[in-house]
Structure 1
Amino acid sequence: MPIANDNIAIVGAGQSGLTAAHAALEQGLRPMLLEASDRAAGSWPRYYDSLALFSPARYSSLPGMAFGGDPERYPRRDEVVAYLERYAAALVERGAELRAGARVEAVLPAGEPGASGFLVRLADGQELTAPAVIAASGSFGRPHRPALPGLDTFTGPVLHVAGYRCPASLPGEHVVVVGAGNSAVQVAYELAAERRVTLASREPIRFVAQRPLGRDLHFWFRLAGFDRLPLARAEAPPGSPVLDDGRYRRALREGRYTRRAMFTRLEGDHAVWPDGERERVDAVLLATGYRPNLPYLTDLGALDDGGHPRQRRGLSVTHPGLGYLGLEWQRTPSSNALRGVGADAAYVVGMLARHLRGAPQRAGERS
């Protein structure tokens, strides 16, 4: 496949990749979506069964297609999956190419050193070339498992929330959930209906009212412009607040689940708490976040030693023509959310389009 000046390869067909394809079509480019799974919905089909969006439908639409239904409802996982599949079908009708089951194994320079463009090698051996690539594969495939003392020798099951679907995913009577963010609290609350649950975290849980003064928090974000603040003015907070309609804080207060400071170590099937108490634990669930899942860029030299992309505002600082979408706090507080990825996609794709047309690409340029 020869390099075409208006072609752009997008790795991943979840919310970030689909939004990138929309922005590419708006720029007159020909997007090719490469999705490792068998459907264009990213990681959403693999999230836990009870997951619901933290933002109402009215704020959760991608560019060019309304979510539909009651704008004040909080869509659940399967609704999001169906929406993303409708969005992908509309993109294909407009001329985007979607390849499902196309796992990208490596992105490499196309041609001699110094030449422009990229070679994209798929797991089945196919090789494609494109003058621009957007890495939009998210982070779900790289769950973060912290080095907690005794975790590797704990005799019970240890499961990351990426592998959790419902309470039946975990055995036993006493589950320790590690974390203090939205997923940790949501899952702890769900498990507490039939188990004894301890939430272990380094910092106390920070609850934030989901609907202050009767309006969803995102209404106030939009009014104040918080979601559009550049990172220079809105740095990432030390811990994620938990959006709460009242039930999570109330359940904690009533003792349906408990919160303790992080255990000092695990010993066999016991946790040792900071006060010295030893307590039997049947299972551990890690709600400890994710890291960018970009192994296919390793040989390109686009990542640092920790596997994080060398980028600024979603544009590679090592390889012109390479962009990123869906990174946490990439440009704004909502960069990796349905409600915010559209603005990032318009910026990143716009800058890559300039690069393809011969205009200078400057990672720090604002738009």
Structure 2
Amino acid sequence: MTKLASCLWVTCPIIIGAGPSGLATAACLKKKDIPSLILERADCIASLWKLKTYDRLHLHLPKQFCELPFMSFPANFPTYPTKNQFFDYLESYKNHFGLEPVFNKTVVSAEFDHRYGVWRVVTLGPEQEQIEYVSQWLVVATGENADEVMPFIEGMCDFGGPILHSSFYRNGRSYQGKDVLVVGCGNSGMEVALDLANFNARTSLVVRVEISDN
């Protein structure tokens, strides 16, 4: 049961999401002496990087193209930092700018109140307590890959083996000597397939090809 909501007036911008974009937005505001309130549904910053990525993940672009505003990567980092190095960088970034996200606040709605010219942002906490934050400004920085998308594939219900989304994959150690089908050839699909092959899994890769009439 959801507990009764409390209502908090926020005199600064609300930022939803404590990933790289949310942290960068807060830092840019702070450089102009504008505070912000960062709401994050997880219990840590950059939860996608910390909780939903495979072990071998590195940045896919050179580090100079991935650094956040006003703070470069450490000089001793490789050209393509590991996921742990990137997370450490984000943690240092947060501390350097004194950012203090409010964790375990899942935003369930965000609506603009035209009558009063404010945003009303409602969150749920771990005990289902509900809080409504009211502010004139709202920045949504939840990312495009925050939630996994598991498409329905004919025959899935009859398949006897495990079906795993890449956000739950860590490494191929437990797949050694097994037949594994990877669906998709994006960055994650290609790297997961390579990782499985390195762990001696019998790996196949399915690619959707768009055929043009031209």
Count of residue pairs the alignment pairs up:
198
Residue 65 of structure 1 aligns with an amino acid whose one-letter code is: M
2:186 matches 1:181: yes
* Aligned pairs (5 A) from 1:95-114: 96-110=99-113, 113-114=114-115
Residue 55 of structure 1 aligns with an amino acid whose one-letter code is: L
Answer yes or no: is the 8 Å Cα contact 1:44–1:81 preserved in 2: yes
**Which residue does the alignment assign to 1:2?**
9
**Which residue does the alignment assign to 1:60?**
66
1:42 to 47, 61, 83: 47
Q: Distance in 2 between matches of 1:134 and 1:179?
A: 32
CA deviation vs aligned residue, 1:294-326 (integer Å, no higher than 9, x gap): xxxxxxxxxxxxxxxxxxxxxxxxxxxxxxxxx
Residue 69 of structure 1 aligns with an amino acid whose one-letter code is: A
Residue 181 of structure 1 aligns with an amino acid whose one-letter code is: G
Offset, 1:129: 1.2
* Aligned pairs (5 A) from 1:208-287: none
CA deviation vs aligned residue, 1:87-125 (integer Å, no higher than 9, x gap): 111222xxx442122222222334xx4321112222131
Q: 1:192 to 1:3 in 2, by over 3 A?
A: closer
**Which residue does the alignment assign to 1:78?**
84
Q: TM-score, normalised by structure 1?
A: 0.50
Answer yes or no: is the 8 Å Cα contact 1:50–1:166 preserved in 2: yes
Residue 22 of structure 2 aligns with an amino acid whose one-letter code is: G
* Aligned pairs (5 A) from 1:294-333: none
**Which residue does the alignment assign to 1:122?**
123
Q: Distance in 2 between matches of 1:149 and 1:141?
A: 25
Higher RCO structure, 1 or 2 (CA under 8 Å, sep 6+): 2
Q: TM-score, normalised by structure 2?
A: 0.83
Answer yes or no: is the 8 Å Cα contact 2:183–2:189 preserved in 1: yes
Q: Distance in 1 between matches of 2:94 and 2:132?
A: 23
| Comparing 135-144 and 11-20, the one that deviates more | 135-144
Secondary structure of the residue aligned to 1:107 is strand
Q: Distance in 2 between matches of 1:3 and 1:45?
A: 29
1:33 to 24, 35, 38: 38
Answer yes or no: is the 8 Å Cα contact 1:10–1:136 preserved in 2: yes
Q: Distance in 1 between matches of 2:176 and 2:37?
A: 43
Runs of 4+ aligned structure 1 residues displaced above 6 Å come to none
User: RMSD of the TM alignment (CA)?
Assistant: 2.3
Offset, 1:72: 5.2
Q: 1:129 to 1:154 in 2, by over 3 A?
A: same
**Which residue does the alignment assign to 1:142?**
147
| Unpaired runs of at least 5, structure 1 | 205-367
Q: Distance in 2 between matches of 1:170 and 1:35?
A: 34
